[in-house]
Amino acid sequence: MVAGRTSGSGIADHVDARIIAFPGRKPSQTAFARDELQRILDLYGRMVSAGEWRDYAMDFTRDVAVFSAFRRATEKPQARIEKRPSLRNKQGMWALYGEHGQILKRGHDLNGVLAPVERRFVKAID
């Protein structure tokens, strides 16, 4: 929007402009940050060495990033770790699901959500 006085040359001396911010665009897919993925893969490696897990899968959509760990590739995942940024300000963006789809832990911190698997890992070694 341009308004104002013009000088003798016909060019505006005063310009009234409005800047309107566009809403931020959602990312095309949700992903794990490098440190988050490192933490998950570290746990996965320890579970593999304990003989608990043998395979994994990762799925990425617009709303959720999922890491699934399997004892055998033909079975349902033994554990599923989900990152849902839309739940960040509610119950937390991290969730740990068990073999039958039950929510084992939910929270704002990845380390806290992985705690039940860590405890199971300690029992597996003993």
Domain range for 108 is 34-125
pLDDT in tens, 83-107: 999 888 888 899 999 888 899 999 9
Does residue 3 belong to any structural domain of this protein?
Answer: no
Q: What is the pLDDT at residue 8?
A: 59
Does residue 15 belong to any structural domain of this protein?
Answer: no
Neighbours of 79 (CB within 10 A): 24
DSSP summary character for residue 6: B
Tell me the C-alpha to C-alpha distance, in Å, between residue 95 and each of 20, 22, 68, 75, 121.
Answer: 37, 32, 12, 21, 18
Q: Is 4 or 60 the better-scoring residue by pLDDT? A: 60
Entry pTM: 0.72
CB-CB contact of 84 with 63 (8 Å): yes
Count of domains for the chain: 1
Does residue 20 belong to any structural domain of this protein?
Answer: no
Q: What is the pLDDT at residue 21?
A: 73
Residue 1 reports pLDDT greater than 50 = no
Tell me the C-alpha to C-alpha distance, in Å, between residue 116 and each of 20, 99, 106.
Answer: 47, 13, 11
Does residue 5 belong to any structural domain of this protein?
Answer: no
